[in-house]
Amino acid sequence: MCIRDRVSTQSTGYQLSVDGFESQLATNHLGPFALTGRLIDLLESTPNARVVAVSSLAAWGGKKYDTIDFKGTQATYDRNQFYYDSKLANQLFMDELARRHPKIVSVGAHPGISNSNLHSGTGSGSMTWAMQDSQMGCLPILRAAVEEGIASSTYYAPRGAFGIFGFPSDSSYRPSLAKNSEYGAAYWVASEEATGVKY
């Protein structure tokens, strides 16, 4: 069994989910977090169950907060920062799931800079010349989902410079904050409190 936690959005303005959370954090992190939690018993009882967290190079822009806020305010809203934080959250989730539920193979991937509809309406359209096609962007995620004998916390990314483009390889090129177990544990607890799903 493989759960691919990939429902990604990039907002063009301040929006809240039906549960009252900033839309990018709700879609990119809190939703997949809650889904995995709802399936945790099935995952733990299924041999070789795997969860793939799909992150992004944008995780490098994620920040550490003393108080983790999933809502923000319209007055201070920075859509890019919330997107960066949501992609950092994916990597924190990957490692913390592996620590808390070692029966599950918890891995991650990012697609590099890929030409997909994620960028529609965000002002990135003029940069398509610098992007790899979406089929290449899918390969790290596909490899994370099907590679045999993969260990938890393995992270696949394009093998080109800075993980921007190319065929996938096992990558250690991740933000140090994404590997911070103390912040990962705090983010997990905050996510449990926000979603009401504890596991």
pLDDT digits (tens, 9 = 90+) for 76-114: 999 999 999 999 999 999 999 999 999 999 999 999 987
Res. 162: pLDDT tops 90: no
Torsion of CA 99, 176, 198, 15, to 10 degrees: -150
Res. 129: pLDDT tops 70: no
Neighbour count for residue 32 (Cβ, 10 Å): 23
Query: 105: helix, coil or strand?
Result: strand
> What pLDDT sits at residue 151?
97
Stronger pLDDT, 137 or 198, i.e. the higher one: 198
Q: How far apart are CA 26 and CA 21, in angstroms?
A: 6
- Sign of the CA dihedral with 18 first, then 22, 24, and 28 last: negative
Res. 119: pLDDT tops 50: no
Mean model confidence pLDDT for the chain? 90
The pTM for the full model equals 0.89
Strand partners, 168: 158
Res. 131: pLDDT tops 50: yes
Q: Which of 14, 65, 77, 83 is catalytic?
A: 83
> What pLDDT sits at residue 17?
95
Res. 117: pLDDT tops 80: no
Res. 152: pLDDT tops 50: yes
> What pLDDT sits at residue 20?
96
Q: What is the mean pLDDT of residues 68-80?
A: 94
Judge whether 83 counts as a catalytic residue.
yes
Q: What is the mean pLDDT of residues 118-142?
A: 70
State in Å, rounded, how far the first CA of the chain is from the last one.
19
